[in-house]
Amino acid sequence: MDGTKLREGREKRNWTQQQAARALGVTQAYLSMLEKGRRAVSAALARKARKAYDLPATVLPLPSEPSASEWRSTRHDFSADLAALGYPGFAYLKTKAPRNPAGVLLDALDQANLDARVVEGLPWLALKYVDMDWDWLVRNAKVRDRQNRLGFAVSLASEVAAKNNDADLGRKLRRRLAILENARLAREDTFCHDSMTQAERKWLREHRSPVAAHWNLLTDMKGEQLAYASP
């Protein structure tokens, strides 16, 4: 979150700087400096502002340049992350404080193996939070050679948008895909299911969708099969 978004959030609430400063626990003078970009918005203040201004999780802080090792955690509960961001497939779970959806998506795509229910939720993140920080996400996906996985997730999200007759969302997703298209890798990969057998890999090479083949991924997932696509 930067000063501009902080000011826009306050104005959305129709609050004066004095009112917002009280809600955020800072002085009016300090809030003014933050909004003008003269001071950086801390992670703690960004989280407080998100709640006070009722802003989307996309304003939550992201690491500047996280290393791959910082993001890999096979023990991490991605179902809880998705639930905190409103994913209907895990609506029954007790929610926790949300993370920035761009961080959740990158973190998940960097896993060797994920539960199939979590994998199905990854295109939903691109669909629901289409205005997330794509510059950060694409840049760090390239660092980890995960741009094909990201491209496939966005492709499925685009299919769901088309099935749901959401033309505006579809246009936004296609713009994201155009960026990823130029970074597509020739190396074969899976969609977070590296533990599959050689027999499974052989079958998928012959039966995967054209979209999966385009992104060089071994998976049978299709946008039309996702639960959040309209019937």
Q: Considering the domain boundaries, does residue 62 fall inside one?
A: no
State pLDDT tens for residues 114-132: 999 999 999 999 999 999 9
40: containing domain? 3-55
Q: What are phi and psi of 117, to 5 degrees?
A: -70, -35
Are 159 and 103 part of one and the same domain? yes
Closest to 219 (Cα-Cα) out of 163, 145, 156: 156
Are 92 and 189 part of one and the same domain? yes
Compute CA 198 distance to the chain's CA centroid, rounded to the nearest angstrom: 31
The encoded tokens of residue 230 equal 């309209």
The CA distance from 80 to 97, in Å, is 9
Tally of domains within the chain: 2
Confidence (pTM): 0.88
pLDDT at 63: 81
Buried-exposed string 37-76: b where 16+ CB fall within 10 A, e elsewhere: eeeebeeebbbebbebbebbbbbbbbeeebeeeebeeeee
Compute CA 3 distance to the chain's CA centroid, rounded to the nearest angstrom: 22
Q: Considering the domain boundaries, does residue 174 fall inside one?
A: yes
Q: Considering the domain boundaries, does residue 156 fall inside one?
A: yes
> What residue type is assigned to position 8 of the chain?
E
Are 142 and 212 part of one and the same domain? yes
Are 15 and 90 part of one and the same domain? no
Closest to 191 (Cα-Cα) out of 138, 152, 159: 152
Are 50 and 75 part of one and the same domain? no
Are 210 and 106 part of one and the same domain? yes
Do the beta carbons of residue 48 and residue 26 sit within 8 Å?
Answer: no
Dihedral of CA atoms 12, 56, 141, 180 in degrees, nearest 10, equals -60
pLDDT at 166: 94
Cα first-last separation, the chain: 37
CATH code at position 48: 1.10.260.40
Q: Considering the domain boundaries, does residue 60 fall inside one?
A: no
Low-confidence ranges of the chain (pLDDT < 50): 69, 71
pLDDT at 1: 83
Are 81 and 128 part of one and the same domain? yes
Are 47 and 144 part of one and the same domain? no
Do the beta carbons of residue 161 and residue 187 sit within 8 Å?
Answer: no
Token match 């203040």: residue? 45
Are 39 and 103 part of one and the same domain? no
The CA distance from 23 to 31, in Å, is 11
State pLDDT tens for residues 18-39: 999 999 999 999 999 999 999 9
The encoded tokens of residue 107 equal 């973190």
Are 21 and 108 part of one and the same domain? no
